[in-house]
Chain A
Amino acid sequence: MGFRVKIEGAETIELHIESVQKVSLKTDIPTDSNARTKDVGSTMIISGKILTAVDGDPFDSTRQLGLWSLVPAERADCYRKLTVEVISADQVVRKIFFPNAFVVDYREHFGDTEGVGTFKLVIKQKKDKLDKITIEGGYSA
């Protein structure tokens, strides 16, 4: 499977199939609730590679992810539009859209025995805008 990640805000960050390794979407509801709760949250975890540009190619946009994770809550552009497409066999299996996504955690890891670094980005949708999330899929890419 391949992934395409697009983050729109003050700038557009695009991550391609080469960069993204794993995407997971989680809906968190308290497990001890007796009936359907109002306390619903949605989390997305994206992990992938930080590639080094060679032959004068442009660098990947992972650095912009790091900069986004540092935007303080007082500024409007800490919330951005996130679109993740899961593509397999020319089909869009899922297209997940978070219109007001913010960064919860961001981690970069680099090792001396590896040629590429790795990142892990934990994103949530603003809780009062949870009904704005769209999940589509099942059509040709």
Chain B
Amino acid sequence: MGFRMKVEGPETIELGIENILTVEFETDTPNDSNARSTDLGTSLIVKGKILTAVDGEEADSTIKLAQWSLVPGERVDCYRKVTIDVIAASQIVRQINLPNAFVVDYTEEYGDTEGVGTFYLHMKQKKDKMVSIKLEGGFQE
């Protein structure tokens, strides 16, 4: 499966098939609830590679993810529009859209035996805007 991720805000961050390793989508309510809870949260977790540019290519946009994760809550551009496509056999299996996503956690890891770094990005949709989440899929690319 391949993934395409697009983060739209003051700048556009795009990551493609070479960068992203896994995508996880999660809806979470308290496990001890007796009936459906209003306390509903959605997470989107993306893991991927930080590639080194060679032959004078442009560096990948992972550095912009790191910069986004540092935007303080006082600024409006801490909320951005995230779209992730999950692609297999020329079909969009999922198109997940969080229009007001913010970063909860961001980790980068580098090792001396590896040629690539890895990143871990955990995003959530602003809780009062849960209804605007779109979960589409099942159509041709």
Partner of B29, one of A58, A103, A115: A103
Determine if B137 and A78 form an interchain contact, defined as CB atoms under 8 angstroms apart: no
Interface of A is mostly: mixed
Distance of A63 Cα from B40 Cα, bound (Å): 18
User: Which of B20-28, B57-65, B72-80 forms contacts with chain A?
Assistant: B20-28
Distance of A78 Cα from B35 Cα, bound (Å): 10
Partner of A127, one of B20, B34, B137: B34
**Are A110 and B29 CB-contacts (below 8 A) given A70-B135, A72-B130, A79-B36?**
no
**Are A66 and B38 CB-contacts (below 8 A) given A53-B91, A108-B25, A112-B3?**
no
Determine if A70 and B25 form an interchain contact, defined as CB atoms under 8 angstroms apart: no
**A29, CB-defined interface residue at 8 Å:** no
Determine if B38 and A74 form an interchain contact, defined as CB atoms under 8 angstroms apart: yes
Q: Which residues of B contact A59 (CB under 8 A)?
A: 91, 93, 137-138
Distance of A54 Cα from B134 Cα, bound (Å): 24
Determine if A108 and B94 form an interchain contact, defined as CB atoms under 8 angstroms apart: yes
Q: Which residues of A contact B38 (CB under 8 A)?
A: 72-74
Most buried by B among A66, A78, A115: A66
Shortest beta-carbon distance from A37 to chain B in Å = 14
Q: Which residues of A contact B35 (CB under 8 A)?
A: 73, 102, 126-128
Shortest beta-carbon distance from A112 to chain B in Å = 5
**A18, CB-defined interface residue at 8 Å:** no
A interface, how many residues as a size bin?
35 or more
Partner of B36, one of A58, A73, A106, A117: A73
Q: Mark A110-131, 1 if CB is under 8 A from B, else 0.
A: 1110111100001010111000
Q: Which residues of B contact A54 (CB under 8 A)?
A: 89, 91
**A52, CB-defined interface residue at 8 Å:** yes
Shortest beta-carbon distance from B16 to chain A in Å = 11
A-to-B contact residues, CB < 8 Å: 41, 50, 52-54, 58-59, 63, 66-67, 69-70, 72-74, 78-79, 102-112, 114-117, 122, 124, 126-128
Can you give 28 A-B contacts (C-beta < 8 A)? Answer: A50-B93, A52-B89, A53-B138, A63-B94, A66-B25, A66-B135, A70-B130, A72-B40, A73-B36, A73-B37, A73-B38, A73-B40, A74-B38, A102-B36, A103-B27, A105-B28, A105-B31, A106-B27, A108-B24, A108-B26, A110-B3, A112-B1, A116-B1, A116-B88, A117-B86, A117-B93, A126-B36, A128-B35
